[in-house]
Structure 1
Amino acid sequence: MPAVPRRSRLIGIPLTAALIGVAAIAACTGGSDGGSGHDGVTVNAIPSGAFMATVNYVHDGDTLYLDNGTAEVKVRLIGIDTPELSSAQRPDAEECYGIEARELLRDFLPEGTAVWALHDREPEDRYGRSLLYVYLQDGTFINLAMVELGAAEALKVGPNDRYWSELRNAEDEASSARLGMWAAC
């Protein structure tokens, strides 16, 4: 992802609070009818072939750890890319809206949350991370919700394109509406 100019974190705090509220309301009120949840967060039916897992930890806006019942699995969410965070190895890597994206994903997926996960054509990336689509019990499609709320860009890598058109359309809509990073960065 190209570097995004940094801006004051204070710009994104009110917007982040609003997005977290929208996400919380959507998670509490959404059904699994394949329609649009509250305030633009799409709720889908959990697809056949998905497996249950439990959230252990959210690392950043597109990477988390799940317990699949036999092992802890490092997961990269398919089809999205969120701004980078700084780390001990890359202290200058932090991009605008990286912290907000991580916090939004943590609000969607607190530790201990039961989720459904689904592979696409390519089950792992070159770093050994499981590539997954993740759903809440109510059908909220997390990958798509992150894009709809402006916390992630749509990203197509390799053959994993099952939901590419939905993700790309959601990015266009979030950008046009200036949601999340599209307003803050």
Structure 2
Amino acid sequence: MKFKTLLNAAVLFIGLGLAAYSQLNKGSQSEQVTVVPQSAETREFERWQLKEGSIYDGDTLRVVRGDEELKIRFCGIDAPERDQEFGIESRDYLRSLVDMGNGELMIVPIEKDRYGRTVAEVYVPDRKTSAINLNLEMVRAGYAWHYAQYSDTCTMRDQLIAAEGMAKQEKAGIWTGNPQPPWEFRKANK
């Protein structure tokens, strides 16, 4: 267990370091990405293609492979709802990240949720790095919360906590004001 924790910390450190280096060289926060070098990643990915037009918010999408189709819920994060402040920005940021890989996604399934969705870590291949972890990047960029209540099964839970801390410190995205978490927004708008 200690090795897994150390490996996860090393992956986050490398990814966030590369993102910071990218930030310094490009001078634009919108170009920052959280990367996970494949050499540090030992899990098996499933390669899928984004189902066209299926990104409705910042933490859910549909993928296809042949005749198969899955609805994917990002493990350990919760993005603003579409009619919530930053909802559209969150969705659009996720779309821009997926576009970097021309719709190709690498999925690491974790479990099925009560709605039958596949809860997963989602990566997009990138020519400049090895892969971008979309779960981490959405939180790091300030377009999603770490969803602590549902992150116990996520292998990158500690990195999500650290990424949210960085986003808060940088006042990125949702952290520019006093954001209402989506789980509270959904409860208030039932």
Given the two structures, how large is their TM-score scaled by the length of structure 2? 0.69
Match of 2:120 in 1: 132
Match of 2:80 in 1: 83
Aligned residues: 143
Deviations 1:12-71 (A, max 9, x none): xxxxxxxxxxxxxxxxxxxxx755232252210344311100011212110100013341
Provide closer, same or farther for how the CA distance between residues 159 and 169 of structure 1 changes in structure 2, counting only shifts above 3 A: closer
CA distance in 2, matches of 1:137, 1:58: 18
How far did 1:158 drift? 5.9
Structure with the higher helix share, 1 or 2: 2
Q: Which runs of 4+ in 1 moved over 3 A?
A: none
Equivalent position amino acid for 1:71 in 2: E
Gaps of 5+ in 1: 1-32, 86-93
SS at match of 1:119: strand
Q: Tell me which of 99, 108, 117 is aligned to 2:88.
A: 99
Provide closer, same or farther for how the CA distance between residues 158 and 104 of structure 1 changes in structure 2, counting only shifts above 3 A: closer
Residue range with higher mean Cα deviation, 41-50 or 128-137: 41-50
How far did 1:112 drift? 5.3
SS at match of 1:140: strand
Q: Is the 8 A contact 1:62 1:77 kept in 2?
A: yes
Match of 2:10 in 1: none
Alignment of 1:1-185 (within 5 A): 34=15, 35-37=17-19, 38-39=22-23, 40-46=32-38, 47=41, 48-56=43-51, 57-85=54-82, 94-110=83-99, 113-120=103-110, 123-138=111-126, 139-156=131-148, 157=150, 159-184=152-177, 185=179
CA RMSD across the alignment: 2.0
Given the two structures, how large is their TM-score scaled by the length of structure 1? 0.71
Identity %: 31
Residue range with higher mean Cα deviation, 153-162 or 140-149: 153-162
Match of 1:25 in 2: none
How far did 1:95 drift? 1.3
Equivalent position amino acid for 2:125 in 1: Q
Give the number of the structure with larger relative contact order, counting CA–CA contacts within 8 Å between residues 6 or more apart.
1
Q: Is the 8 A contact 2:151 2:157 kept in 1?
A: no
SS at match of 1:58: coil
Deviations 1:51-93 (A, max 9, x none): 10001121211010001334111110111111112xxxxxxxx
Match of 2:11 in 1: none
Gaps of 5+ in 2: 1-13, 24-31, 180-190
